[in-house]
Amino acid sequence: RWNSGWVEFYKAHMYKLYVDCFNRPIANAPDSTFDVIERERPGGHFFGPLHDFRCTERVRTCINLGSYNYLGFGGVDRFCVPQARQAALEHGWSTGAPRSEGGTLQVHRDLEREVASFLSKEDALVLGMGFATNSTILPALFEAQAGGSGVLVLSDELNHRSIVEGVRLSGATVRAFAHNNMPELEAALQRAVTEGQPGAAGPWRKIFIVVEGIYSMEGDFCRL
């Protein structure tokens, strides 16, 4: 191994200085909080890197800020855990295929009908991944097959990258407005309706407003 010397140098003199920042063992499920097992090693600050960390019997309860557990279902829950277990036993972990190619089960349609009923809509479409939802469904809504011709999208400037990607792939015209600034959005709508498309090409065929219910990177709610 021609680089083994550099690897050993890095591990001994650099990585081991701050290794306690990584791979922290936990003692329970990653819920909104979890118990981090405290570790220690002899040698103090100067000679500590010469030794490996060992777990102690002590734990420290910490707030979980590094998980995609948005709905709080990652921990032990008296209602959700038994339901998830029963669903896994009945339907399996995955269909093994995308929804469009043999990946739709009856439970998916039941969920979509429930969502549609809750929102008082004719139907709904549920996807299992946020980025793919926005980047693949938005082009279909904005008529990507027609190149987005005559379609205007008014997009919040802090929309997630998946939304930005979906709008870009559609080919539609995009105009951003200041984050959660409803007066600016209203003004942009008025201009779009009164002025129409650039170059006297007539009115816009469709105008879409794209926002997020909860802006995941900032934690803000959309001001509807």
- Tens of pLDDT, residue by residue over 39-73, are 998 888 778 777 888 999 999 999 888 777 766 67
Q: What's the pLDDT at 77?
A: 79
The token pair that represents 14 in the structure block: 């650099």
Q: Give the DSSP H/E element, type plus range, for residue 176.
A: strand 173-177
* Cα angle 95-98-104, degrees, rounded to a multiple of 5: 60
Q: What's the pLDDT at 152?
A: 94
Give the Cα separation of 186 and 154 in Å (integer): 10
- Minimum mean pLDDT range among 2-11, 118-127, 196-205: 2-11
Q: Please, which pLDDT band fits residue 3 given cuts at 50, 70 and 90? A: low
Burial label, 204 (beta-carbon count in 10 A; 0-12, 13-18, 19+): middle
pLDDT of 11 over the 70 cut: yes
Q: What's the pLDDT at 70?
A: 67
Q: Which whole number is the average pLDDT over 185-207?
A: 91
* Cα angle 86-89-90, degrees, rounded to a multiple of 5: 85
Q: What's the pLDDT at 192?
A: 94
Give the Cα separation of 145 and 132 in Å (integer): 18
pTM of the prediction? 0.62
Nearest residue to 161 (alpha-carbon basis) of 137, 140, 130 = 130
Name the region of 158 (left: φ>0; alpha: ψ -120 to 50; beta: rest): alpha
Contact status, residue 176 vs residue 156, Cβ threshold 8 Å:
yes
Three-class SS of 21-73:
HCCCCECCCCCCEEEEEEEECCCHHHHHHHCCCEEEEEEEEEECCCCCCCCCC
Give the Cα separation of 189 and 193 in Å (integer): 6
Contact status, residue 174 vs residue 167, Cβ threshold 8 Å:
yes
What b-and-e string marks burial along 59-84, b requiring 16 or more CB atoms within 10 Å of the CB?
beeeebeeeeeeeeebbeeeeeeeee
The token pair that represents 78 in the structure block: 């008296």
pLDDT of 1 over the 60 cut: no
